[in-house]
């Protein structure tokens, strides 16, 4: 019988990211996927800046950008009547290149280290697969069906079918992670319920190739062109497009995708349909993110409508939160309570992002109600209706693509493995990221005096940022050595950064979140108590 530390069910972006994270920390994984290859469906089309920071830490950011939309292209979102009519309002957003310049010029902790990235899941999955296939600690098995498991106190036995040969086998592991999508078998076997609203709407996706770029980008490059009838996504700004439209009444097998294209665009175009299907988005979060030695991540744990792009991006956060914790426990220097913190930290984020996606959708509904017959009228009546609609769209805004607080401003304030500060309060503004080193927060990103990025200087495990006394650092070094914990010490002499980081000492976790901060420790015993808490070895 095969034995491996971790089995991952599902080789989508979340499962593959988790495998990369574990491999980088020296843990072998088996990742199984029932499909013969990576997805043929476009699904997500934005990798946000927080996910790109995490991909950079995993060493694959540039590899992924190589298959994305060119970095000189903007992220504009445009509301239109149709492509034979008028553009009502355009929300303008800078390109990757422009964002990089802003990041370099604004070294005050408010900026991400990485810009977001426009890329389809059809494209990003093969790039992640290529990275995994270079990893000696990852066994990637497509055409392999997961059909059950038995979880005990010491191990999990996973049952697999080879869909090519028909062979069945059992694999034992220390931990199983279900990254197997919205219909997760892992979640169903655990009998974990989903909470929220199912079937929020019905949609029809038409993924197609068309040479009519001149028409489909007639007002200039836009990532999304939107109307009450759907959203057209420019997947590569050249010839690949995806239309998500309202699902018409009737049998989905009888729907002609080209009729839906004509309705949205305003006329017939030359188009080769690559894939077309009905899909039903939800607003659901699992009641629990695991049980015992079995965990859920990504769509297995939460399912959102796409307004805001929170689906895969929330899942990447799940993977990088769970990965280092599994590795730390497997390697023996963390306690089992560290794994309990996964649900305590990530489920509130799942719930928050679910609400944000719902709120964003309500804004879209409000804009959709502006699409009356008058909007398409000729003459003064039509001009007036279009002017009023344009003003209202501008007033309502586009928070779903401007939610910097949602992307970067979350704090694991209630985590059992974070050294919370008495009386500390954090209020999330979805639209604004306020840099803070409050324990549980993402560490603010800056550039150091030598030009290097602080995030690039963080160690593979915990990092102690030292803005103050070297003797205090020695206490942490001694405590880490006693616990066989790899601790990176980074001494920073930059007075202009002191106000951003707010303390002389900051203990940073492997996922770039602050575990503890303070201006000093009295001895190695005190430092050890801090390490025990953040490693789940002690909850006192």
Instruction: Specify the fold of 69-117+202-279+369-407.
Output: D-Amino Acid Oxidase; Chain A, domain 2 (3.30.9)
Which residues are CB-contacts of 379 (< 8 A; sequence separation ≥ 6)? none
Domain locations in the chain as residue ranges: 2-67+119-196+286-356, 69-117+202-279+369-407, 409-534
Q: What is the pLDDT of residue 216?
A: 96
Residue 154 and residue 288: Cα distance in Å, rounded? 21
Instruction: Specify the fold of 2-67+119-196+286-356.
Output: FAD/NAD(P)-binding domain (3.50.50)
For residue 223, count CB atoms less than 10 angstroms from its CB and return exposed for 0-12, middle for 13-18, buried for 19 or more: buried
pLDDT 10s digits, 278-298: 888 999 999 999 999 999 999
Residue 312 and residue 210: Cα distance in Å, rounded? 27
Eight-class DSSP state of 248: P
Q: Are strands 144-151 and 156-162 parallel, antiparallel or unpaired?
A: antiparallel
Q: What is the pLDDT of residue 527?
A: 93
For residue 503, count CB atoms less than 10 angstroms from its CB and return exposed for 0-12, middle for 13-18, buried for 19 or more: middle
Q: Please, where are the H alpha helices in 107-203?
A: 121-133, 185-190
Place of tokens 């890329």: 119
**Which residue numbers in the chain have pLDDT < 70?**
250-252, 469, 539-540
Contact status, residue 353 vs residue 305, Cβ threshold 8 Å: no
Record the pTM. Answer: 0.95
| Exposure letters 62-91 (e unless 16+ CB within 10 A, then b) | eebbebbbeeebbbbbbbbbbbeeebbbbb
Q: What is the pLDDT of residue 246?
A: 86
CATH for 409-534 (3.40.30.120, 1.20.1050.10, 3.40.50.2300, 3.40.50.1100): 3.40.30.120
Residue 391, CB half-sphere, CA atoms under 13 Å: how many? 6
Around Cβ 493, how many Cβ atoms within 10 Å? Answer: 10
| Exposure letters 427-436 (e unless 16+ CB within 10 A, then b) | ebebeebbbb
Nearest to 186 by CA among 412, 15, 361: 15
- Domains 2-67+119-196+286-356 and 409-534 in one fold: no
Q: Strand pairing partners for 79?
A: 89, 226
Nearest to 32 by CA among 143, 156, 189, 197: 143
pLDDT 10s digits, 418-437: 998 877 777 888 999 999 99
């Amino acid at each position: 019988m095969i034995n491996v530390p971790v089995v991952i069910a599902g080789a989508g972006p979340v499962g593959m990211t988790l495998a990369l994270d574990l491999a980088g920390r020296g843990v072998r994984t088996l990742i199984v996927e029932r499909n013969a290859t990576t997805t043929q469906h476009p699904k997500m089309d934005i990798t946000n800046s927080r996910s790109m920071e995490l991909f950079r830490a995993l060493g694959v950011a540039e590899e992924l950008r190589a298959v994305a939309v060119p970095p000189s292209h903007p992220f504009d979102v445009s509301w239109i009547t149709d492509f034979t009519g008028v553009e009502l309002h355009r929300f303008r957003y800078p390109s990757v290149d422009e964002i990089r310049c802003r990041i370099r010029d604004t070294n005050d902790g408010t900026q991400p280290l990485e810009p977001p990235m426009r890329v389809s899941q059809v494209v990003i999955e093969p790039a992640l697969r290529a990275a995994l296939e270079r990893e000696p600690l990852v066994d990637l098995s497509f055409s392999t069906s997961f059909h059950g498991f038995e979880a005990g106190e010491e191990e999990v036995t996973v049952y697999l079918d080879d869909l090519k040969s028909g062979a069945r086998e059992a694999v034992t592991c220390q931990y199983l992670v279900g990254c197997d999508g919205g219909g997760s078998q892992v979640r169903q076997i655990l009998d974990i319920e989903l909470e929220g609203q199912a079937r929020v709407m019905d949609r029809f996706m038409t993924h197609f190739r068309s040479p009519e770029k001149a028409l489909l980008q007639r007002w200039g490059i836009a990532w999304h062109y939107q109307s009450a009838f759907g959203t057209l996504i420019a997947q590569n700004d050249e010839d690949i497009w995806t239309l998500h439209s309202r699902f018409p009444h009737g049998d989905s097998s009888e729907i002609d995708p080209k009729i839906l294209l004509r309705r949205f665009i305003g006329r017939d175009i030359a188009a080769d349909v690559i894939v077309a299907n009905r899909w039903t988005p939800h607003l659901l979060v699992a009641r629990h993110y695991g049980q015992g030695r079995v965990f859920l991540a990504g769509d297995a744990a939460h399912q959102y409508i796409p307004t805001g792009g929170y689906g895969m991006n929330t899942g990447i956060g799940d993977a990088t939160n769970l990965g280092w914790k599994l590795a730390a426990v497997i390697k023996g220097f963390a306690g089992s309570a560290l794994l309990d913190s996964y649900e305590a930290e990530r489920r509130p984020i799942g719930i928050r992002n679910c609400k944000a996606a719902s709120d964003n959708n309500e804004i879209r509904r409000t804009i959709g109600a502006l699409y009356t017959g008058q909007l398409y009228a000729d003459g003064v009546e039509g001009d007036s209706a279009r002017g009023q609609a344009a003003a209202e769209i501008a007033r309502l805004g586009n928070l779903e693509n401007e939610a910097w607080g949602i992307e970067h401003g979350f704090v694991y304030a209630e985590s059992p493995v974070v050294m919370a500060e008495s009386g500390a309060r954090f209020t999330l503004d979805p639209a604004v990221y306020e840099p803070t080193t409050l324990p549980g927060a993402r560490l603010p990103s800056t550039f150091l005096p030598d030009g290097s990025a602080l995030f690039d200087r963080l160690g593979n495990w915990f990092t102690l940022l030292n803005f103050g006394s070297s003797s205090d650092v020695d206490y942490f070094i001694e405590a880490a050595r006693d616990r066989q914990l790899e601790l990176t010490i980074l001494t920073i002499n930059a007075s202009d950064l002191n106000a951003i980081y707010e303390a002389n000492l900051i203990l940073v976790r492997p996922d770039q979140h602050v575990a503890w901060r303070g201006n000093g420790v009295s001895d190695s015993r005190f430092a050890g108590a801090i390490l025990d808490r953040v490693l789940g070895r002690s909850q006192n």
